[in-house]
Amino acid sequence: MTNQFDDTRYLLKFILASAFCFFIGTVHGVLQVISPIRAWLDSIGSPYGGPGHMIDPLAHAHINVIGGVVIFIMGASYYLIPQIAGIRIYSKKLVNHTFWWTLLGIFGFYSTLMVFGIWEGQALLANPDNDDAVQAIHRYYGPVIATVSTGMGVGFWVYFFNIFVTIKQFKPSIQSKQP
């Protein structure tokens, strides 16, 4: 078997992407408490509903929790399983699919929530007595958010499959070690 440390450098991108998402998430987090921005978010329904809810808390929570935390955990588990169990990850190709589907998915999810949150928010403030303007925009939101959410979901499901198949390989070795 080759040296696992040599094989693992391709996992570095998980850590870099996680740090980048935390950067976006923390800048977003600070901006959303600065009073003029906070007042604008409140005026469009944040955090309870309406366009504001898309920006705060949905976009903010997801870029931090999925972009920052989950992507880090994915990379860490792909590194740690071979280290702990001495077995190879089932598919390196699926590791890269995990990374790109989850990362492009969370960027799509975040930017969709931000674009529609701002766009619908502006329409709401420009037409406070007429919801048609907001609805005229919102009808595009459904298909777009469904598409990017599915992309993000594919990243999670590829990860689950790759981990479960890897662990399945591991079980026989546990039994052979028992007296």
Residue 82's CB: how many other CB atoms inside 10 A? 16
CB-nearer residue toward ligand HEM: 55 or 158: 55
Among 25, 75, 121, 155, binds ligand HEM (CB under 6 A): 25
Answer for the pair 109, 65: CB distance below 8 angstroms, yes or no: no
By C-beta, is 94 or 124 nearer to ligand HEM? 124
The first and second tokens of residue 22, run together, are 């935390």
* Residue 52 · residue 76 · CB < 8 Å: no
Shortest CB 23 distance to ligand HEM, Å: 10
Quote the CA–CA distance of 152 and 127 in Å, as a whole number.
34
Residue whose C-alpha is closest to residue 77's, from 6, 160, 153, 149: 160
By beta-carbon proximity to ligand HEM, the closer residue of 51 and 68 is 68
Site string for ligand HEM, 28-67 (x = CB under 6 A): -xx-xx------------xx--------xx--xx--xx--
Please give the size of the binding site for ligand HEM, defined by CB under 6 A.
17
Site for ligand HEM in 66-105 (CB under 6 A): 68-69
Any idea which residue has 């993000």 for tokens? 152
Smallest separation, CB 48 to ligand HEM (Å): 8
Minimum CB distance to ligand HEM smaller for 68 or for 155: 68
Report d(CA 64, CA 106) in Å as an integer. 10
Degrees, nearest 5: CA angle 158-161-10: 60
Q: Which residues bind ligand HEM (CB under 6 A)?
A: 22, 25-26, 29-30, 32-33, 46-47, 56-57, 60-61, 64-65, 68-69
